[in-house]
Amino acid sequence: MTVPFPFTAVVGQDDLRLALLLNAVSPAVGGVLVRGEKGTAKSTAVRALSALLPEVDVVPGCRFSCDPGAPDPACPDGPHETGAGVRRASRMVELPVGASEDRLVGALDIERALAEGVKAFEPGLLADAHRGILYVDEVNLLHDHLVDLLLDAAAMGASYVEREGVSVRHAARFLLVGTMNPEEGELRPQLLDRFGLTVEVAASREPEQRVEVVRRRLAYDDDPEGFAARWADEEAAVRARIVAARDLLPSVRLGDGALRQIAATCAAFEVDGMRADIVMARTATALAAWAGRTDVLAEDVRQAALLALPHRRRRNPFDAPGLDEDKLDETLEEFGGSEDDDPDPDPGPDGPGGGGGQPDPDDGPRGDDSAARPEAGEDGEPQPSGAGGGEQSPARASEPFRTKVLTVPGLGEGAAGRRSRARTQHGRTTGARRPQGALTKLHLAATVQAAAPHQRARGRSGPGLVVRRDDLRQATREGREGNLVLFVVDASGSMAARQRMGAVKGAVLSLLLDAYQRRDKVGLVTFRGSAGEVALPPTSSVDAAAARLESLPTGGRTPLAAGLLKAHDVLRVERLRDPARRALVVVVTDGRATGGPQPVELAGRAARLFAAEGIASVVVDCESGPVRLGLAGQLAGELGGTAVTLDELRAESIAGLVKDMQGNSRRAA
């Protein structure tokens, strides 16, 4: 067995180590989410924690790690009698990002069911993790269906399996630890809230500390056993301190003053629900126990807030993480009265100020409002004030809104998501077929039907079933896939007319938010001046795309053909990397083509490349003013896609909301 890197040998990362230790002291805190760039010892620290956890007593032979002092009465391996057990180390179970549903929750033992006619349950990783650690590396890349199962188990402390005639319930209480790189995409808010604490980690910028990291890592790689032996005393001391803190934890007093500070802090930062208050209370109590105290102090509440609130105050992936520490200190001071204060004070501090105000308007007018009569320029496009054809300051995006749902037609086979129809490993079963390659999901009824007519010929006359490979049937399922949504944004001078770019950025921001909710990858190509540019290669991080969009300048001519060809190159490369993920190209433009030689003809040729390859596309028509040329609609026709105006992108979603509300009203009536 590989010797883990010692927990006490991790250099720096004080918040990370503290958060993990607090969960070791009090698993009720609810786990840790570790966010940070690659190469910052996230996984190393988590794996090292398991060696510090106290051993657990389990019922001999129980696959579900029941406690012999209080065995689970509904354990599938039970019933168990109360008595002595066997002691073993606490487990750390890793959930791979690509794990199947059966591997996570368990499933029917197909081999025994077919050979012996017995309904036997094969436990999954949730059973293995009971009373231990469930570790998910790159948790933000976990498939939605696995996230839902994980949420249910974490919330209820149990796993329920209903499938193929099997109905099983078993305890699944575990310390949930996840690590992620935010550049690869954010987590769904529901899963974020399930993590008790969150920690942001980054590599040290201090040369001496970086030298020490390298020195220790090289020493460990050369001789893991010897390196671990040199840190054995420190590891033993921390392990003993965890045990002492666990013993002290029931005696820690959380007074009314600390509770008021916790409630006021959660209200001041406008976190949703009450889970944050409960987690803060448990964390502050664990902090006091870790410090060897029986009273929770204001410093414990402050540290608990810094660990428990940052990920809960984010309303969408574009909000910056973190907590305003000055505001935190003001709130704690305001509600830091003594324990003898009136126990029923006014519970709520003054709420924070309004909703952020209106974005700053764009700089002055850009000339004539009519798109048919722009300000004079050498290519007939509006020119920015000050310098002919030069770059303009980036426009502020308008507020995002709920958009019309854009989908890729047909039936795909890409990664699980929420946008377009697809054949998936999860979702509703639509039929059965012979397996093509390895069997991944057995359709039991179809397999039995295929095998049943041949039992006499196979010499079977008694109970049971003789099943051959030719009888096996693969279940076919239909669900939703995530797509690659590639934005191709016109950043030329014509887009700055009538302060249009702010509205355009708001629309793209809205579509990015929609892509985040539907688990898409996104990319950003822009074109202006004389060329197209890949502003952001395809990524799962929509907040990175939003940041690039916000700083996008405008100005110059409109090289539409160059932008389309650049987008075509991006799709070609991405198809080599991920052939199953289908693309949706969203071209945001007024349809003008003025850059380069023969701009209109070349733009048409470039557009027809997309149509010839069957690439799904949508043109968001940004043309405005009383006179409209309809060029975006013509471009959509050449792309083989559809065109929507900025107003339609918003109005149709509002109409959908009204329709949903009316439908709900009718059902309620």
Here the tokens at position 276 are 């944050």
C-alpha 392/C-alpha 384 separation (Å) is 6
The enclosing H or E element of 521 equals strand 521-528
C-alpha 62/C-alpha 83 separation (Å) is 13
C-alpha 269/C-alpha 325 separation (Å) is 11
Here the tokens at position 532 are 């197209």
pLDDT of 113 reads 60
C-alpha 422/C-alpha 481 separation (Å) is 6
pLDDT of 82 reads 84
Angle at 636 between CA 635 and CA 638, to 5 degrees: 65
C-alpha 105/C-alpha 34 separation (Å) is 24
Domain 249-314+321-334 and domain 484-655, same fold? Reply is: no
Domain 7-54+90-206 falls under CATH 1.10.10.10: no
Here the tokens at position 418 are 């929420």
Rg over alpha carbons for the chain, rounded to the nearest Å, is: 30
* Chain position carrying tokens 């987590």: 187
C-alpha 427/C-alpha 480 separation (Å) is 8
**Cβ(294)–Cβ(288) below 8 Å:** yes
C-alpha 617/C-alpha 641 separation (Å) is 5
Angle at 635 between CA 631 and CA 638, to 5 degrees: 140
pTM of the model: 0.69
Residue 161 has phi, psi (to 5 degrees) of -120, 120
131 is catalytic: no
C-alpha 136/C-alpha 43 separation (Å) is 9
Cβ neighbours of residue 297 under 8 Å, at least 6 residues apart? 258, 288
C-alpha 251/C-alpha 76 separation (Å) is 35
The enclosing H or E element of 248 equals helix 232-248
Q: Is 15 exposed, middle or buried (0-12, 13-18, 19+ CB in 10 A)?
A: middle
Domain positions in the chain? 7-54+90-206, 249-314+321-334, 420-480, 484-655
C-alpha 617/C-alpha 578 separation (Å) is 19
C-alpha 338/C-alpha 322 separation (Å) is 29
C-alpha 271/C-alpha 351 separation (Å) is 12
User: Among the options 169, 216, 217, 275, which is catalytic?
Assistant: 275
- The DSSP-derived string for 568-625 is HHHHHHHHHH-TT--EEEEEEE-----SSSSHHHHHHHHHHHHHHTT-EEEEEE---S
Q: Splitting the chain (669 residues) into consecutive groups of 10 residues, what average pLDDT does each group show?
A: 84 90 90 85 86 88 90 87 86 85 78 60 89 88 78 82 74 88 74 86 87 93 92 92 94 94 92 90 96 94 93 69 84 73 43 39 36 38 42 72 89 85 79 81 83 84 78 85 93 74 87 86 92 90 84 87 95 93 94 87 94 95 80 94 89 41 42
What's the CATH fold of domain 484-655? Answer: Rossmann fold (3.40.50)
Cα distance between the two ends of the chain: 64
What's the CATH fold of domain 249-314+321-334? Answer: Helicase, Ruva Protein; domain 3 (1.10.8)
| Helix, strand, coil abundance in the chain, percent, nearest 5 | 40, 15, 40
* Chain position carrying tokens 């959509």: 636
SS3 state at 200: strand
Task: Find the Cα–Cα–Cα–Cα dihedral 496, 500, 503, 507, rounded to 10°.
Answer: -70
CA distances from 123 to 58, 130, 160 (A): 16, 11, 11
**Cβ(566)–Cβ(609) below 8 Å:** no
C-alpha 226/C-alpha 116 separation (Å) is 51
* Chain position carrying tokens 């979702």: 427
Cβ neighbours of residue 509 under 8 Å, at least 6 residues apart? 318, 397, 400, 546, 549
**Cβ(547)–Cβ(509) below 8 Å:** no
